[in-house]
Structure 1
């Protein structure tokens, strides 16, 4: 690193009130080019521009091509201090930027940028188990399948994604649903420390006792507060589990929906059990099937909590034998359509048969009527049961920004997912995704079944997230953001994602 150059180029953005005005004045004067040039001089082998092989690799390190954009340059830091230096350069010059962890959020511009600077965290890939094995330190360049594989020889797990290719930072900053959430809450409820680069380049560690307000905000408050460069995650003993996927024919629709409704209402009876039931529609094959991931944290797979699913006649069934979490999630990679175009939308309801039927019938009817002929179409709704146990665990661990109302639990937090192959269908699918969500929510509202909280990690463009957080939590988040980023670096210069300032 050329320190003399950095001394000239890097103002301390938070040193006084003046830098805030300076940022605004510099924007528009080709600040991104200036920042890219400064980064190139400071980190010559880690900055890439269009035409470089590593530029393409980093720009396509996403789950879906809907995220392939054209940043002016890409910076790949190797250490937290390099992230700090980069933020001082970028913020000091007022350049726009984006940050990518695992690259699984399929909203264009939320983890990439057209014309700005992309900070790709691929090389921040630490995984280290503490000496007492009570927590594991994980860098934001990791994906969950690698975290689970690292912990497997120790017979341990950490709470994280239920699909292996999901990245670590995005899931945790949005809260994070895990197979173990009925026992331990959101994945973010099980973070014991965050290492964070603030807007002025300062590096702090946020815990329940140190920068405790920032620690609380990061447990579901998104990316408005800083760049997290290390997560310390509580570990739990879980050497072997029961996990697999069952596929049910459409002729068993009623029995399947009854099983989903029953688990939704009574899932708290056994906190070790988890399911991800889904409607799965394939337009090209003109078929609809029902699937569910089934999970049990234990070695006895025949469990009453899952019996309503396991008794159903199945087309395919991989549940029934013990495995490890690492082995299971690696097997899911082939089921998640890498390389197809993607969009999510989230819907929330109370967990009962009436809400389930409304969502099922509306979704199936509208998909069949309106977009069934889209090339390569796959359309699904996953019903994620959220129990009182799940919510209580977050309360027990000091609370979180989501502040989900436990008195109204249980819930279904549902994710609609659409995938397709032709970019020419982008506008059609995006418009439909918004339309079907609006219709479903209108029907749920009329039936008194709509729930307020929307899970950030499954949400789509334009959906309101923070407005459904617990009473007073939006104002609290906004106050914490203003304290740690008074000049809106992570709001205005890094516009991707849901911002608490705009809630």
Structure 2
């Protein structure tokens, strides 16, 4: 249970003339679209060359391509389109636009992108092709990072991807591809050299053909179009890594929170990182510390000595690990993959991580402990060293240049997931977030997780001063705001 909750830490073009639809038929189906997707429109989709899977909600396998990241993000889509080629994606986008169907594009992975009508799922666009002579890797957005790491396990290079193997490669340009190589090599968005993009008019282009488009792809790709292939830099794998889990009981909370706050405030070494969690498992709260150190055991224990000086840990699994082991570390006890339908998630971001903020984060969890509906609860705290999110923000719209951002998340897993509970449960999470906001103080809370798209996240918080430039790109390539999921980019022409 502990590891399952831990896993829940811690995206997403030939002109319109090709569609053989009369004006009368288009208007008819558009009127029908508010109540559902018509069979006649599906026939048009096939007639116009879509070769992938077409799945309605009653078909086997539908949920494999439509299930939401968490219960509170589910919009009950009606149709899943699963393209086999970039041309399929183009046909699907033009089709949805012709019938005025709302749609969401999603890659492999945790699936935050949702629509009440159509999901264009890129899961089967999953190539991994390393080109040694160019020092680049071609990646399909349907991959999850574990697929990429497995495909490159025998090589001495890797892609700059997510630390959780179940995170989708398509989350990559929204920051969801951050790895522990972050502070060594820059950001995942900065490692994008090029991308194939299906635009709102259905045309298929390479981002490098237009400087504005390449800029947007490096951090906001799925607000502009559907990315069907990435070309990314290959990086050498680190040769020495020391990591694992150390668990303590709650008697050590005050001391550990002080150490974590101090480490966060003073550490500037890109070789040293840690995560902190407070996990409820089988009715017992425990503190989890997850060090990630590029170096040997001696260097790790010199850099974070307090972890190993605290007496009587409940568990210490830290050891020398390989790059692949590090990425798979949190999968050892996984009972099923993400996404899942029995938990909800909420998160905020603070600029300063103090002991009072850490205490407030745990207080966020405390009122939920005695409720029998919850099979598990976890607070996760992700500190980042100064300027982790700012050193490369000029190459793309994400991330903007805050000196520091630290993530606090609450995961709540239901023992008996009843849809009727969903709104109540989510309101509890939002109310609880106020505890952390109050403790952090005015100006310290950024509210949302900067590391992937969550629908409803204010665009100015995610993109900061880069938002106006991104809006210029949006008007150029998607003036009708058809790619409108995740973080809404306000169209100033509307």
Structure 1 residues 200-227: Cα deviation after superposition (integer angstroms, max 9, x where no partner): 11112224xx422222223333621001
Q: Match of 2:115, SS? A: coil
In the other structure, the counterpart of 2:315 is 316
In the other structure, the counterpart of 1:38 is 44
Q: Match of 2:215, SS? A: helix
In the other structure, the counterpart of 1:72 is 78
Asked if 2 retains the 8 angstrom alpha-carbon contact of 1:454 and 1:465, the reply is no
The worse-fitting range, judged by mean Cα deviation, of 156-165 and 130-139 is 130-139
Is 1:291 aligned with 2:291?
no
Q: 1:444 to 1:180 in 2, by over 3 A?
A: same
What is the alpha-carbon distance in structure 1 between the residues aligned to residue 225 and residue 472 of structure 2? 14
With structure 1 as the length reference, what TM-score do the two structures score? Answer: 0.82
In the other structure, the counterpart of 1:455 is 449
Q: Match of 2:252, SS? A: helix
Is 1:52 aligned with 2:59?
yes
In the other structure, the counterpart of 1:266 is 266
Is 1:29 aligned with 2:32?
yes
In the other structure, the counterpart of 1:15 is none
Is 1:101 aligned with 2:115?
no
Asked if 1 retains the 8 angstrom alpha-carbon contact of 2:55 and 2:81, the reply is yes
Q: Say which of 418, 425, 432 aligns to 1:429.
A: 425
Asked if 2 retains the 8 angstrom alpha-carbon contact of 1:248 and 1:316, the reply is yes
Structure 1 residues 2-49: Cα deviation after superposition (integer angstroms, max 9, x where no partner): x9x9934379xxxxxxx9xx9999633338324323224433662122
In the other structure, the counterpart of 1:14 is none
Is 1:466 aligned with 2:466?
no
What is the alpha-carbon distance in structure 1 between the residues aligned to residue 453 and residue 99 of structure 2? 32
In the other structure, the counterpart of 1:480 is 473
Segments of structure 1 that go 5 or more residues without pairing to the other structure are: 12-18
What is the alpha-carbon distance in structure 1 between the residues aligned to residue 32 and residue 191 of structure 2? 44
In the other structure, the counterpart of 2:380 is 382
Structure 1 residues 460-485: Cα deviation after superposition (integer angstroms, max 9, x where no partner): 554434335332x2222112111101
Q: Say which of 20, 24, 29 aligns to 1:9.
A: 20
What is the alpha-carbon distance in structure 2 between the residues aligned to residue 132 and residue 74 of structure 1? 38
Structure 1 residues 46-68: Cα deviation after superposition (integer angstroms, max 9, x where no partner): 212244323344345x6656666
Is 1:92 aligned with 2:107?
no
In the other structure, the counterpart of 1:248 is 248
Structure 1 residues 403-461: Cα deviation after superposition (integer angstroms, max 9, x where no partner): 223xxx34422223222232333223201111111232133225x6x144843446755
Asked if 1 retains the 8 angstrom alpha-carbon contact of 2:71 and 2:344, the reply is no
In the other structure, the counterpart of 2:8 is none
Segments of structure 2 that go 5 or more residues without pairing to the other structure are: 1-13
Asked if 2 retains the 8 angstrom alpha-carbon contact of 1:188 and 1:220, the reply is yes
Deviation at 1:360, TM superposition (A): 2.6
Length, aligned pairs only: 465
In the other structure, the counterpart of 2:211 is 212
What is the alpha-carbon distance in structure 2 between the residues aligned to residue 199 and residue 146 of structure 1? 29
In the other structure, the counterpart of 1:234 is 233
Q: 1:93 to 1:461 in 2, by over 3 A?
A: closer
Q: 1:490 to 1:366 in 2, by over 3 A?
A: closer
Asked if 2 retains the 8 angstrom alpha-carbon contact of 1:138 and 1:230, the reply is yes
Q: 1:300 to 1:362 in 2, by over 3 A?
A: closer
What is the alpha-carbon distance in structure 2 between the residues aligned to residue 265 and residue 337 of structure 1? 36
Q: 1:223 to 1:466 in 2, by over 3 A?
A: farther
Asked if 2 retains the 8 angstrom alpha-carbon contact of 1:122 and 1:141, the reply is yes
What is the alpha-carbon distance in structure 2 between the residues aligned to residue 330 and residue 67 of structure 1? 26
Deviation at 1:267, TM superposition (A): 2.4
Deviation at 1:292, TM superposition (A): 2.5
Q: Say which of 439, 444, 468 aligns to 1:443.
A: 439
Q: 1:49 to 1:286 in 2, by over 3 A?
A: closer
What is the alpha-carbon distance in structure 1 between the residues aligned to residue 120 and residue 161 of structure 2? 23
In the other structure, the counterpart of 1:194 is 195
Alignment RMSD (CA, Å) = 3.2
Q: 1:226 to 1:421 in 2, by over 3 A?
A: farther
Deviation at 1:198, TM superposition (A): 0.5
Structure 1 residues 323-360: Cα deviation after superposition (integer angstroms, max 9, x where no partner): 22x22333412556744523232222234xxx432333
In the other structure, the counterpart of 1:16 is none
Asked if 1 retains the 8 angstrom alpha-carbon contact of 2:346 and 2:410, the reply is yes
Asked if 2 retains the 8 angstrom alpha-carbon contact of 1:221 and 1:500, the reply is no
With structure 2 as the length reference, what TM-score do the two structures score? Answer: 0.84
Asked if 2 retains the 8 angstrom alpha-carbon contact of 1:174 and 1:219, the reply is no
Deviation at 1:266, TM superposition (A): 2.4
Deviation at 1:389, TM superposition (A): 4.8
